[in-house]
Amino acid sequence: MDIVLCHRTADFDTLGAAVGITCLSPGTRIVLCGGAHPTVRDFLALYRDQFPLIERRSVNVKQLRSITVVDAQQRELFGPAAIWLDTPGIQIKIYDHHLHTVADINTEDRVIAAVGATTTLIVEVLQEQAFSLPAAVATVMALGIHVDTGSLTYPSATVRDAAALTWLMAQGANQRAIATYTEPGFSADLQELLGQALDTIQTQSIHGYTVAWVILQTAAYVPALSSLTSQLMLLSESDCLLLANVYGNAMPQRLSIIGRSRIEGVDLNTLLQPLGGGGHARAAAATLRTETPEAVLMGLVDRLTQQIPLPPTAADLMSSPVRTIRPTTSIDQARRILLRYGHSGLSVVDDHDQLVGILSRRDLDIALHHGFGHAPVKGYMTAPVRTIHPQTTLPEIELMMVTYDIGRLPVVDQSQLVGIVTRTDILRQLHQLKHPVSPAHRQVVRTSMQEQLRSQLLPILQAILSTAAAAAATQGWQLYLVGGAVRDLLLANPEQLFSVREFDLVVDGVETRTLEAAGVVLATALQRAYPEAQLQIYGQFQTAATHMACWRRISRLFCRYCHGSQ
């Protein structure tokens, strides 16, 4: 006799995986080891006859040849059926996707992989062996992947899960049934508990994140509290939630804890494992007996808050230096700058470089629509401006952008404009779901190459760039390194010094009315600093180049004026 075990309170993933096993090994029977999630129970009320399910009491232990365990690796999750795992001479195989679970089932035959659902592992085998599935089988397996990956929206979802769902759809998975059982309605009891939870929930702000917790008292165990937890987290606008349910009259009391989180760096699986629970980093649960449920919950809240990493700040996210214009700049000039650099807005500063306004693309469109391209931007810019400090955190920045519908926030330090954070910067950070996180601080992708230039560039080349930067700074210009040198530096071996034969430098600054373009002025200054250099001016384009010998290599500095007002 061959059987496949579904863990207690069976969800769609353990059921879908088990059904897939019965296709791979005809004759295998499915054993539910202790109840089912309400939606699974409702599903089986219609589909039970489509699958080879048997009662636990129908298993003849003496006839057992093999046991396959799906979606779990701990004996306690299989209740009384766990004793079968000690039967001598039987083969035991495990399929699971919980990588960090401490397994206590004795077998070497394990298939454990970092996918969103255990069902995905079974689908891959079925697909490889070119199986053709009945619609009911494809449907329950698709439900397993949908529910455990949040229809591919959870961070644990992978390309493999998406590919498995695609194949199951081709096999005839019933989309109407999937929609019905992935979004079930709340029962009257759950609706009442949701109201109680909203009235008694407690919250705390940690590093800009909202941590919430609530404890509910019920006469008996309440199924489907995981769905209530997810809904409560949404309605309370929490970033992390611990829901505790104390039930029954026996002492010590029964305590069920369900956790949900969307904070990168928080690991609920690690938090609940000491209590005998587990799950995933962002969704985990535990059940235990205790005489002090409130103390247990508050202890978890304390340990949870210690896990929360410091979020990135405006200083981490901002672009700097900021491209600015004067209040007297015309609408047409501002439009050309936006088109040239691909920006969606510009900061407006006065003669003392104090921020006085923000000009958005929408402001420009209004002015141009009415034929005021010649008008100065001061008549159309937004003022006063909402600003942030370099230490403003990512959650605070996101909240400001959403609340006030702001696409860019200038970063001001001691009355000076030091950077700007845009929606693009926020989205880039929020959607780096696979990026590693340090224990103390969330990793931020940096766009500055200054450290790389200092560590990898030959000293003579560093000196040339420093001279050019100093010359630009005296004129109040911004200097950018662009072109092939940047590409080659990004591709270079970080352990070796980097040599380059050509630099392309772009000068950018506020309006200038000199006869010579900024590129020519800068190239002339470089020639004065390096008398051996040869200066070549291209009058038609008002660009210039200097040629100089550096350690038997020819370095060519091509300084091109690219001022926004032209």
User: What is the CA angle 60-61-65, rounded to 5?
Assistant: 105
Distance (Å, whole) CA 560 – CA 520: 8
3-state secondary structure of 38: helix
3-state secondary structure of 3: strand
Cβ 536 vs Cβ 557: under 8 Å:
no
The CA distances from residue 232 to 128, 203, 270, 367, 466, in Å, are 41, 12, 22, 46, 56
Torsion angle of alpha carbons 198, 203, 207, 209, nearest 10°? -10
Q: Would you state the pLDDT for residue 542?
A: 63
Q: Where on the phi/psi map is residue 371: left (φ > 0), alpha (ψ -120 to 50), or beta?
A: left
List alpha helices for 431-512, DSSP H.
450-456, 459-474, 484-491
Find the helix or strand (DSSP H, E) in which 204 lies. Answer: strand 202-206
Distance of CA 257 to the CA centre of its chain: 25
In the 8-state DSSP scheme, what is residue 186?
P
Please tell us whether the domain made up of 314-430 is placed in CATH 3.10.580.10: yes
Q: For residue range 38-74, what is the model confidence (pLDDT) as tens digits?
A: 889 989 989 999 999 999 989 999 999 999 999 999 9
Average predicted confidence (pLDDT) for the chain: 86
Judged on CB neighbours under 10 Å (0-12, 13-18, 19+), 290 is: middle
Residue whose entry in the numeric block shows the structure tokens 């004067």? 326
Q: For residue range 215-260, what is the model confidence (pLDDT) as tens digits?
A: 999 998 888 788 889 889 988 989 999 999 999 888 888 999 999 9
Burial 356-389 (b: 16+ CB within 10 A, else e): bbbbbeebbeebeeeeeeeebbbebbeeebebbe
In the 8-state DSSP scheme, what is residue 185?
P
Q: Which CATH architecture has domain 450-561?
A: 2-Layer Sandwich (3.30)
Distance (Å, whole) CA 150 – CA 116: 9
Strand-strand pairing, 2-6 and 29-32:
parallel
Find the helix or strand (DSSP H, E) in which 215 lies. Answer: strand 209-218
3-state secondary structure of 345: strand
3-state secondary structure of 70: strand
In the 8-state DSSP scheme, what is residue 427?
H
The CA distances from residue 207 to 19, 156, 301, 313, in Å, are 45, 24, 15, 10
Distance in angstroms between the alpha carbons of the first and the last residue of the chain: 83
Burial 3-34 (b: 16+ CB within 10 A, else e): bbbbbbbbbbbbbbbbbbbbbeeeebbbbbbb
Sequence spans of domains, the chain: 2-182, 188-307, 314-430, 450-561
Residue whose entry in the numeric block shows the structure tokens 């039987």? 90
Which residues have a Cβ under 8 Å from the Cβ of 319 and sit 6 or more positions away? 419, 420, 421, 422, 425, 447
Distance (Å, whole) CA 145 – CA 130: 20
The one-letter amino acid at 111: V
pTM of the model: 0.61
Q: Name the CATH topology of 188-307.
A: Diaminopimelate Epimerase; Chain A, domain 1 (3.10.310)
Cβ 241 vs Cβ 213: under 8 Å:
yes
Distance (Å, whole) CA 168 – CA 119: 11
Distance (Å, whole) CA 520 – CA 525: 9
Using alpha carbons, select from 223, 395, 386 the residue that is nearest to residue 309.
395
Judged on CB neighbours under 10 Å (0-12, 13-18, 19+), 337 is: buried
Question: What is the CATH number that goes with domain 2-182?
Answer: 3.90.1640.10
Regions of the chain with pLDDT less than 50? 433-447, 510, 512-515, 551-566
